[in-house]
């Protein structure tokens, strides 16, 4: 059996174990459900009135999806750190299994649970007037992009967990980077309204690319008064979003696996 097929087989077992834990402890999914609801209501009705009303609520959903899935990386960090702290990873390391199976299984399980976050966000969007206006085909492409993005950022969470190795530190480190990455972006406001350095960061921010791509695929336009984004990332949002996802996986997956191997040798 090839190393790839072995890794996929072993990771499927770990994925099943992680999903069974979710089923047995449904309270762990409260944050995944509550977070998108809170942000949709807060941004749509508290700030939305000054940012474009109904048009802004439609514009908002793509940003909420990108933000929610980015935040889900913290779940990967916390749950993987919890397994480390409880000694469960030590048991896995003693078994004849692929080195990357534990992390891939964690990322795959979080990919499945992220579907709940996406579903809740879309249902909230429908409740406040959001609609898909660009057809089923582009909408399915948008869903594929969202799943690729959440899989990519889960590897960032894995690196944080394997570096921190405790739930408390992983939770802190897992949240620190999320706020600047998600809010210094085009997820909720026009990038063009930001001052120079922040605008440059936001234009090339993967969160901006994912939010912009999803809006374009859903057929959701910017509210009147919003300056249209410009530059290569905005003109090629879908391509850039996919490239960012591939780059994140290419960088953080080897880092996570090498850190896992380093811990195994201690």
Domain assignment of residue 120, given as a range = 3-264
Q: How many CA atoms lie within 13 A of 105 on its CB side?
A: 27
Q: What is the pLDDT of residue 168?
A: 84
Q: Tokens representing 70? A: 């980015």
Residue 43 has φ and ψ, to the nearest 5°, of: -75, -30
197 Cβ neighbours under 8 A, 6+ residues apart: none
The owner of tokens 């996570």 is 256
State pTM to two decimals.
0.90
Instruction: Give the pLDDT means over successive 10-residue stretches in the chain (266 positions).
Output: 70 84 74 84 77 81 94 88 78 72 86 91 92 93 96 93 84 85 92 90 96 95 80 94 97 90 67
Q: Which long-range contacts (CB under 8 A, 24 or more apart) does 252-259 make?
A: 252/152, 252/155, 252/156, 252/158, 252/159, 253/100, 253/103, 253/155, 255/155, 255/159, 256/100, 256/103, 256/155, 256/158, 256/159, 256/162, 257/99, 257/100, 257/103, 259/159, 259/162, 259/163
Domain tally for the chain? 1
Q: Tokens representing 142? A: 């948008």
């Amino acid at each position: 059996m090839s190393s790839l097929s072995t890794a996929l087989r072993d990771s499927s077992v770990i994925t099943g174990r992680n999903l069974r834990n979710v089923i047995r402890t449904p309270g762990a999914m409260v944050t995944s459900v509550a977070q998108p609801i809170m942000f949709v209501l807060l941004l749509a009705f508290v700030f939305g009135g000054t940012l474009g009303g109904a048009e802004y609520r439609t514009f908002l959903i793509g940003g909420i999806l990108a933000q929610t899935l980015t935040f889900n990386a913290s779940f990967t960090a916390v749950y993987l750190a919890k397994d480390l702290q409880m000694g469960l990873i030590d048991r896995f390391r003693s078994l004849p299994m692929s080195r990357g199976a534990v992390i891939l299984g964690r990322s795959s399980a979080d990919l499945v649970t992220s579907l709940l976050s996406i579903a809740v966000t879309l249902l909230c969007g429908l409740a406040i007037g959001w609609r898909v206006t660009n057809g089923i085909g582009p909408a399915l492409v948008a869903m594929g992009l969202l799943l690729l993005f959440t899989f990519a950022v889960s590897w960032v969470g894995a690196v944080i967990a394997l570096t921190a190795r405790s739930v408390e530190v992983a939770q802190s480190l897992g949240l620190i980077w999320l706020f600047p990455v998600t809010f210094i972006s085009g997820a909720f406001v026009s990038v063009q309204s930001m001052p120079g350095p922040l605008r440059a960061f936001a234009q090339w921010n993967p969160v901006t690319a994912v939010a912009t791509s999803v809006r374009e695929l859903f057929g959701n336009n910017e509210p009147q008064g919003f300056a249209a984004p410009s530059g290569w990332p905005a003109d090629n949002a879908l391509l850039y979003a996919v490239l960012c996802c591939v780059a994140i996986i290419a960088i953080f997956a080897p880092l996570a696996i090498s850190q896992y191997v380093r811990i195994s040798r201690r």
